[in-house]
Amino acid sequence: MRLQTKLTLFNTLSKLVIVVLFVLLLPRLIGNINLNYTDNRLRKQKDKVLQKIDSLGIEQYMPDGKPYGSYTLLKEEYVGLEESPPSYHLNTIENSERIVEGDTIQYRILSHTFAHDKKNYLLEVGKSVKTIGETSSPLQSIALEVLLGMIFFTVLLDFLYADYLLRPLGKIIKAKLLDKRFPAAGPYQRINTSTYDFKYLDESIHQMIQHIEATFQKEREFISNASHELMTPITILQNKIENLSGREDISDELQLKLVEMHKTLNRLKSITKTLLLISQIENEQFLKEDTISVSELLNDVSDEISIRLQDKNIRMNIEVTDDKTLHEVNRFLLFNLFFNLVNNAIKYNKEQGDIAIKAFREDGSYVIEVSDTGIGIPEEQVPFIFNRFKKFKRSAQQESFGLGLPIVKSIADFHKIGIEVSSELGAGSRFRLIFP
């Protein structure tokens, strides 16, 4: 799940929990507040009545000594005053039922006894409990609506802010990791962000990449230097063997031994030359300033390689449906790319097999396809065929050291040509080169 989604979900949930708790507690809270408020009001009303009695005398309410009672129209409030036994003392506020004109109604009643003119009186001020609680439920629903609205609004804000906040992270990943073509160190481009953590991440990734690049570079230099250093001793050995084998006084047996030596040396020489070539390509030591048409290139390869078809009676067919002139390429390298591809198609083909080379346009890109009717490549090996020195048990008839396809790959990369491989075991392989 995305961080942004997680943050938003968590925010929404935590807010919802708080709101639900609040809304559930609301009746109790409102009840308490109302009760306090009502009690205070009752006390104030009591004080008012007592004040009136003090100033106007009890006769105002009880002119003939009969108990006094007064109700509002809807019986929401009532005031009662009556004489009570002298020993009776009361000062409470509590809920109690009263029967008013035949209706039993729950009241919040303040009962207070007081002495006036040597007589004891009981004053009751009441407020209907129903009117106290009746604001609670509409308040609850309004609160719920308002709060849900606020949650929605803040969650939306959270979402947008998180999106804004996390944008540099996406940028760092895209620019520094996904779009990065290894190995090629460009200048360090800071990703714009005011968040320290992202700056830290950006710089750390850059440092890591620099480290990787440096290691890559060292390895390439090593391969290049090692190959160079090997060239001179190999030359000396080869020249010694050649001078020796040119002598007339050596026996046939010695001559055969010299050929064996030469073969071994040749193997060493091929590996070294190929490694050097690959490292030179990867160090971009080749120029790309040739212009050549696809048909010309394929014909060159065909001329050079056709002698190799003879051995297994392989038919090769070149079909250029749409010729293309390649600009800013290296002719030598492209020649070697196709030579190696076609050479493989011959090497791993069957007797009387076929090789088809097609060049055409497809969905706006230019494609050259080399397919054979050979032994194919097992599916699980396809991802590794471009690895150096990776040898597969494909054919026992040919001696090679597994650098043919790595050459193809590095030349294709150098020219930004894409390679797609499809293969069916026992039926053949197809290499598609997709030109930029």
Partner 1 sequence: MNVLIIEDEKSLSREVEAFLKKQFYTCDVSFTGNNASEKIAVNLYDFILIDLGLPDYEGLDLLKEAKEYNPEAACIILTARGDVGDKIKGLDLGADDYLAKPFSLLELQSRMQAIARRKFGLKNTVVPLGEFSVDLTNRSIAHSGKEITAITKKEFDLVSYLLLHKNRTLNRMQLNEHIWGSVIEDDYDSNYIDAHIKNIRKKLNAFGPTEWLETVRGVGYRIRTA
DSSP label at residue 177: I
What is the DSSP secondary-structure string of 204-253? HHHHHHHHHHHHHHHHHHHHHHHHHHHHHHHHHHHHHHHHHHT-TTS-HH
Between 116 and 269, name the residue whose CB sits nearer to partner 1.
Answer: 269
259 binds partner 1 (CB under 8 A): yes
232 binds partner 1 (CB under 8 A): yes
CB of 355 to partner 1, least distance (A): 16
Total residues in contact with partner 1, by rule CB under 8 A: 52
Identify residues 302-341 at the interface with partner 1 (CB under 8 A). 304, 307-308, 310-311, 332, 335-336, 339-340
Distances (CA, A) of 419 to 235, 367, 409: 36, 10, 8
Nearer to partner 1, 274 or 373 (CB): 274
Q: Does 381 bind partner 1 (CB under 8 A)?
A: no
Q: Minimum distance from CB of 412 to partner 1 (Å)?
A: 14
In angstroms, the first-to-last Cα distance of the chain is 36
5, 141, 215, 270: residue in contact with partner 1 (rule CB under 8 A): 270
- Binding mask 341-380 toward partner 1 (x if CB under 8 A, else -) reads --x---x---------------------------------
Region binding partner 1 by CB under 8 A among candidate stretches 49-57, 121-129, 300-308, 361-369: 300-308
One-letter-per-residue 3-state SS of 96-160: EEEEECCEEEEEEEEEEEEEECCEEEEEEEEEEHHHHHCCHHHHHHHHHHHHHHHHHHHHHHHHH
Q: Does 236 bind partner 1 (CB under 8 A)?
A: yes
Give contact residues for partner 1 (rule: CB under 8 A). 228-229, 231-232, 234-236, 238-240, 242-243, 245-246, 255-256, 259, 262-263, 266-267, 269-271, 273-274, 276-277, 280, 285-287, 304, 307-308, 310-311, 332, 335-336, 339-340, 343, 347, 398-404, 407
